[in-house]
Structure 1
Amino acid sequence: MSNPNSESSGKIFDAQVLRRLMVFMKPYRAKFYLLVGMTIVLGFLAPLRPYQIQITVDEYIAAGNYDGLLKMTVIMVVLLVVQSVLQYQHTYLSGWLGQSIIRDIRIKLYRHVLGLRLKFFDETQIGRLITRNISDVETLSDVFTEGLAAMAGDVLQLVFILILMFYTNWKLTLVSLSMLPLLLISTYVFKEKVKSSFNDVRSAVANLNSFVQEHITGMSIVQIFSAEQREYEKFKEINAVHRKENIRSVMYYSIYFPVAEVIGAIGTGLLVWYGGREVLHETVTLGTLIAFIMYIGMFFRPIRTIADRFNTLQLGIVSTDRIMKLLDNDEIIPDEGRYLPEKFAGEVRFDNVCFGYNPEHLILKNISFHVPAGSTTALVGATGAGKSSIINLLNRFYEIQSGDISIDGHNVREYSLDYLRAQIGVVLQDVFLFSGTIEYNITLGNPNISREKVLEAAELVGALPFIERLPNGLDYNVMERGATLSVGQRQLISFVRAMVYDPKIIILDEATSSVDSETEALIQAAIEKVMKGRTSIVIAHRLSTIQNAQQILVLDKGEIKERGTHETLLAAGGLYAQLHEMQYKELA
């Protein structure tokens, strides 16, 4: 599997990646074929204008035929209107097609990301994922609006112009194209330089996104440790690299286009010199010379832009390659279970479970325990002992290396993932709230959860009084990450969030460690009501909160060292007793 943080661009032109991109075109094949047809017609219509002017000058103006002149003028105006209408339709359709396809890609990509294991997010910078979902996908729209269709139109136009030029006068054609090799060489050099520059720009953008996202999210840490100036200097360095790479790409443009303009002007000058001499010798008509001057302008213009369009296509291929690598990521949680029992008791069993975030370094070693339905089991141990890992495995956020995890006698893999997680309510120590109303943060947009159920759960937990004091109550906007609420209030909302789903298993992960004594008293009262009739697994540093648990497991370095009730473990005088004595001294 490729490194998800890689910014490598891959091949210069990857036909396989382009074919995979074309798969997203299938729902819009009819419109795509219509766009191709318009491209062909437009490529043919544009070169007709110089040919018509040649006929008009040589056959009607030179002969003084006013009626013929009027007829040709009408024909040219009609063709110009047709071309303008087609150009409008072509531009709109290519834009519509591009936006429709990137909408589909973005939806598929986001849906894929939602199903990835937490291990993937542990190893991948969030800023780079944002770049994949937004910047890289947006680049793909240019492939359709400025890349494929436009470049195909330019190539067709060049082919039709060459056919007409050789058909009219091959000598003038060779003179007109005398500067073409020089233009092609400069175009190739420009294309390679800009392609390299654009790849560096994309990497700089990804680095900038990652830095800004991480440091805005962790702004409280930056300010607590007075690191503002140091982080500011780091940002200036990253931003300077971003500026440097963009200026480098601008420099290539600023050199290439004047050079191309000069080459085109020299070619036009040679054509006027040679063609004018032929007109004076009466071997070439004036209309032919005028037509060729128009041809050469129309011929060199697409070549000057085709390099830019090619780079747009290359950027699209690079972005597509990165997006496809993300879509190909196999860190998907397998959801093949079909077991959906009508009754779910919540009996939990771990049998010889071994697990490590890195398989070579196990966090849990042969963990075995049984939690009877409706009972309370507490997990105790130092930081890093493996308590939270047990919770993550029960929810199937990660997959175990060996052993068996079952609920009600069935392996957790047998359950549908949605069904399994709907039966497990989790209250974490670090509560995450989305920007939105309190009601949304409780229901997470689930239409099956009524406001009455939310109010009932809030009252049960003891959160209703503080919610009612807020402006607009449940409709109060908590802002991003719940910045406008206290730690205790956010913790209470997370309890309500767990309760409205009416889970059969309740998991409390350090749920009261970050709240004040008054809020803790509220939560403890709610916990007693919530745990009644439910299987409960509690992780706690405060041993006073788990004295009534039917079973306490003491973990150390990924192994269960002791198990029993509060009284039996104290009497044993082991690790639990030492932890209890340490906390008693701290409180004394």
Structure 2
Amino acid sequence: MEDNMAGPSGIPGMRGPGGGGRANMRAKAERPKNMKNTILRLLGYMSETKAQLIVALIASMLSTLCNLAASYMIRPIINTYILPVDGSSGNPQGLFMAVCVMAVVYAGSFVGMYIQMRLMLSVSQSALRRMRHDLFTHMKDMPVRFFDTNSNGDLMSRYTNDIDAVGEMMNNTIVQFIAGIMTLIGTLSMMIYTNIWLALVTFVMTPVMIKAGRFLIKRSRRYYAMQQESIGRLNGYIEETITGQKVVKVFNHEEKAIEEFREYNNDLKDKQINAQFFGGIMGPVVGNLGQVNYSLTAMLGGIFCVLKGFDVGGVTIFVTYARQFSRPVNELSSQMNTIFSALAGAERVFGVMDMDTEAVSGRTGEIMPVRGDIEFRDVTFGYNPDRIILKDISLKASKGQKIAFVGSTGAGKTTITNLLTRFYEIQSGLITIDGRDIRTIDKDELRKNIALVLQDTHLFTGTVMENIRYGRPDATDDEVRQAAMTANADYFINRLENGYDTMLEKDGSNLSQGQRQLLNIARAALSKAPILILDEATSSVDTRTERQIQDAMDRLMAERTTFVIAHRLSTIRNSDSIIVLEHGSIIEKAHMSSFLQITADIMSCIQAGRFWDKVL
């Protein structure tokens, strides 16, 4: 686009390899706004596979119960077969049978854990698939302003880094979390059942562990949000620098690009150090507090055995439960870096999903056929409300007319076409097609009747035929070939190695610029849209290729209402009228015949040596 476009961005980003986002990078990242809501939304994605989730929960409960039961069996084994409380000798045969039963119970715990992990992996991957689908579907419906004002690399980071972080949490941490919660509840219940006084030690230590965890969580959450934002900015800079590598090299910008990359990279390093530090020390801190709980329990248990007659088996299983109680807390604490990274990533993903999509206001149903009578009536528009680009634009184009827009860069030529396609909405005024306000027409139906050929070509990975068929997916092969003939593209396509089945790579890098533009024109021809917009379609090709493209465009413009944006006189020579724009206003309107007559008069004066007479 030639016009300056600046708008409020919903996502931090930067523009170009010059480092325009440095101010954003230094800005302090906000802490997550609503962690509870983020967690509930993630659980909502998982709940769509309820049957698997319920079976996984049952399996987890079975595994926990078997594990607790096996641990409790140590008490009767010690008190009955190893150190009988009645003072009798041990019973090796009974001990062997008891150990075999314990092994079976532990096997049940293993089976339950296996089922739980398999099902939870399936649940988590299904949730991630739906999340990626929802993000892509939502982003597809975002307005053009969203993509114009956000870095491509930062948007791609939502699909890669952020969703990958969520996937790592769902694959591993959630399994541990479910098992850990059940283990904590079951272990605490068994500790109370075994000895309420020893259980009080755990009751006292638990709030201490929780308070220490909350202290570290509060800081970790903020740093992980900052880390994810910094990753997005770094990815955006990398993507834009690699895309503009030719420009970087031709202007010897390598050292400057390295310096700016180092700045973004160091910023990410600093944020990752803080995030990983607070997330990493949580495990050791909580683990050491758990060891304190274990030591106090063992000490008091020994005292109870000596002074209160508490059985050795009871002390043994209680210290085992004390260790089991600390283990899930320690494991969850060690996973805090994964949890916070995932929640920060999920919040960024949901942040995009919560943005307003492009409004599809208007009547539903077909609006065909469209004649192509277009009118702009007192249209005023600015990409930012405080900076007006177009001022009271009024013009008419009848069916089949070719209207050319000329003017300096930034005058507002491309903006007019952006408003006609409703890529942006006008602030005031009226735009009509066949007398109907375009705001009352469904956007999909509106755009079906407009074909667009831009200066910057874009081809997709696929065959030549598939790329042309993008203009009308239901077109037959014969219609595709006819469109290519209309665009003067059939000749060079048949000379390709596989003709129409030739695969295009990297935006058509195996074709010349002119050939890519001819395919774009063929795509527009195939659409059969009654309204055509040509935005500097020949500005980046040589004179010979321009003549080929011009011939193709002349056939394409036949019987279509056409808006042509160009700087070259050859591109607009067949136009019915010319509109001159400057600073967002129409300063001149002229019919092409008058324009050509003026040009001819000037040329004749130059040849007769009376140029200044004509000018004066």
Q: Deviations over 1:24-81 (max 9, x none)?
A: 3453233333333334333433222221111222123335345543443343222222
**Alignment map for 1:88-103 (pairs within 5 Å):** 88-103=114-129
Q: 1:253 to 1:362 in 2, by over 3 A?
A: closer
Q: Secondary structure at the match of 1:116?
A: coil
Contact 1:50-1:292 within 8 A present in 2 as well: no
1:207 to 227, 233, 250: 233
Where does residue 518 of structure 1 map in the other structure? 544
C-alpha distance in structure 2 between counterparts of 1:373 and 1:154, whole Å: 71
**Alignment map for 1:71-82 (pairs within 5 Å):** 71-82=97-108
Shift of 1:238: 1.9
Contact 1:428-1:511 within 8 A present in 2 as well: yes
1:35 to 32, 56, 68: 56
Runs of 5+ consecutive residues of structure 1 not aligned to the other structure:
none
Q: Secondary structure at the match of 2:73?
A: helix
Letter of the aligned partner of 1:522 in structure 2?
A: Q
Q: Secondary structure at the match of 2:504?
A: coil
Q: Deviations over 1:341-394 (max 9, x none)?
A: 442222222222222111232222222222111221111111112111111111
Is it true that 1:469 corresponds to 2:475 in the alignment? no
Out of 131-140 and 512-521, give the one that drifted further. Answer: 131-140
Q: Deviations over 1:120-171 (max 9, x none)?
A: 2222222222222333233333454445553243123112212212221234
Where does residue 72 of structure 2 map in the other structure? 51
**Alignment map for 1:9-408 (pairs within 5 Å):** 9-11=30-32, 14-63=35-84, 64-66=90-92, 68-148=94-174, 150-174=176-200, 183-252=209-278, 255-276=281-302, 278-279=304-305, 283-309=309-335, 312-408=338-434
C-alpha distance in structure 1 between counterparts of 2:602 and 2:579, whole Å: 13
Letter of the aligned partner of 2:79 in structure 1?
A: D
Runs of 5+ consecutive residues of structure 2 not aligned to the other structure:
1-6, 13-27, 85-89, 612-616
Shift of 1:19: 3.4
Out of 348-357 and 260-269, give the one that drifted further. Answer: 260-269
Q: 1:10 to 1:198 in 2, by over 3 A?
A: closer
Contact 2:31-2:225 within 8 A present in 1 as well: no
Is it true that 1:549 corresponds to 2:575 in the alignment? yes
1:5 to 2, 11, 15: 11
C-alpha distance in structure 1 between counterparts of 2:9 and 2:421, whole Å: 26
C-alpha distance in structure 1 between counterparts of 2:585 and 2:223, whole Å: 53
Letter of the aligned partner of 1:364 in structure 2?
A: L
Is it true that 1:451 corresponds to 2:467 in the alignment? no
1:498 to 524, 533, 547: 524
How high is the sequence identity, in percent, across the aligned residues?
Answer: 32
C-alpha distance in structure 2 between counterparts of 1:105 and 1:261, whole Å: 34
Contact 2:462-2:504 within 8 A present in 1 as well: yes
Contact 2:370-2:434 within 8 A present in 1 as well: yes
Q: 1:137 to 1:188 in 2, by over 3 A?
A: same
TM-score, scaled to structure 2: 0.85
Q: Secondary structure at the match of 2:153?
A: helix
Corresponding residue pairs, total: 578
Contact 1:12-1:314 within 8 A present in 2 as well: no
Shift of 1:435: 3.5
Contact 1:172-1:271 within 8 A present in 2 as well: yes
Is it true that 1:441 corresponds to 2:467 in the alignment? yes
C-alpha distance in structure 2 between counterparts of 1:530 and 1:228, whole Å: 43
C-alpha distance in structure 2 between counterparts of 1:174 and 1:130, whole Å: 51
C-alpha distance in structure 2 between counterparts of 1:12 and 1:552, whole Å: 53
Q: Deviations over 1:474-533 (max 9, x none)?
A: 333332233333221221121112112222222111111111111111112212222222
Q: Secondary structure at the match of 2:411?
A: coil
Contact 2:379-2:430 within 8 A present in 1 as well: yes
Q: 1:477 to 1:234 in 2, by over 3 A?
A: farther
TM-score, scaled to structure 1: 0.89
